[in-house]
Amino acid sequence: MKDVEKIVKQEGAIYGEYPDYEPGHYTFLADYLPYAAGDGMEHRNSTVITAAGSIAASRENLLDTVAHEFFHGWNVERIRPRGLEPFDFDRANVSGELWLAEGFTQYYGSLAMQRAQLVDVASTAGTLGRLIESVAQSPGHLVRSAEEMSRMAPFIDGGRAIDRTNWSTTVISYYPYGGAIALALDLTLRDRTDGRLSLDDFMQAMWKTYGQPGGSREGYVDRPYTIADAEATLAAVSGDRAFAREFFSRYIQGHDVADYARLLAPAGFMVRKRYPGRAWLGDLRLDSRAGARVAALVAPTWPIYASGLDQDDELQQVDGQRINGEADITATLQRHTPGDTVPVVFVDRTGVATTANITLAEDPHIEVVPVEAGGTLTPAQKAFRDRWLGAK
């Protein structure tokens, strides 16, 4: 309970107050059972959390869910997108703002964990790296914007398509997508104002205008926001309408990815290749039970895409070596460096054999690590990091 209290205090400090809970209190309902499916669901005055993990063995993950769901007491339950107000239980409720409603909550859940000192800086760096990679390494951001990803919710949130889709290469969950945007906006505001403004100021402004006024009926929100409202709020907070328009145009309604290496450097974090110098042809998933058959779509950003290999094809050889599974690809690539050209042989799903040459790339996967992992944290970096990640 003490750790939950720490989270509650840190999230309350972001807004400067707590919502007016209708029963006069907020309730956490947690069912941690070995047969439970993991989930967390927010309500106006409570949350229901289920997980198979025990408190002793999975404390950090369980608390992260607590932090996420409690933040929803402000963001979503009261700061609510217009597409979700009033909620219609008889049809799909489509919203283009879930990158803010869920994605920003995803970011703040992890941030609250750090500010409450329930995780260390290395753990937070790992979380930030996963947010960044979920967007930067997926070709989905080239296809759909964060706004468009949000509108995919009725199809991907528990829904199951009867026919095959290309969503594995065209869709990114708005949770990490929005979390990555929140990270970029937070660091951008801090950088351009020398620490005077942050994402906390933006959330406070959204709260005061759209959440705090409440509704004329219990459980309703009289002033839900639109994406234009969110942009106008950023313009007002930053005092720069052109900046707000550019940020929304590039990262929310467009397809750009922020320069996270530059944004994180002032806080003493490095964005670096996880496997520098390692040859890579793509993150192929093979079903070894079916003769190394490709089990998922081949992304157009992978080197092996140029060969024509795709889902349901059987990959037989790479550089003359028989392929029976993913481990064989790894072993073969260890003999090569980025830039090498190697032949691949596969039989497509119609039975036609194909040989093609592909040029290997450097493994693009990244990680975020504290600068202390390979250097020295400067006083300026420490001050920036403390203002951002320190307890409030």
Pick the CATH number of 279-362 from 2.30.42.10, 2.60.40.420, 3.30.420.40, 1.10.1040.10: 2.30.42.10
How much of the chain, in percent, has pLDDT values that exceed 70?
100
Per-domain residue ranges of the chain: 2-270, 279-362
Using the predicted structure, report yes or no on whether residue 327 has a pLDDT greater than 80. Answer: yes
- Cβ contact 241:228 at 8 Å: no
| 70-125: pLDDT as tens digits | 999 999 999 999 999 998 989 989 999 999 999 999 999 999 999 999 999 999 99
Question: For position 103, what pLDDT does the model report?
Answer: 98
Topology alike, domains 2-270 and 279-362: no
Mean pLDDT of 293-316: 97
Averaged pLDDT for residues 194-215: 97
In sign, the C-alpha dihedral spanning 349, 355, 356, 362 is: positive
Is a pLDDT exceeding 80 seen at residue 290? no
Residue 268's pLDDT is 98
pLDDT at residue 374 in the model: 87
Q: What average pLDDT score do residues 207-227 get?
A: 96
Q: Provide the pLDDT confidence category of residue 44 given band limits of 50, 70 and 90.
A: very high
pLDDT value for 158: 78
**pLDDT at residue 291, as a whole number:** 76
Instruction: Grade residue 1 by pLDDT with cuts at 50, 70 and 90.
Output: confident
> What class does CATH assign to 2-270?
mainly alpha
Q: Looking at residue 160, what is its pLDDT? A: 82
pLDDT digits over 153-196, tens only?
999 887 788 899 999 999 999 999 999 999 999 999 999 999 99
Of the pLDDT bands very low, low, confident and very high (cuts 50, 70, 90), residue 288 is: confident
Query: Across the chain, what does the average pLDDT equal?
Result: 96
Q: Is the pLDDT of residue 281 over 80?
A: yes
Task: Tell me the pLDDT tens digit for each residue of 333-373.
Answer: 999 999 999 999 999 999 999 999 999 999 999 999 999 99
pLDDT score at 148:
98
pLDDT at 161: 85
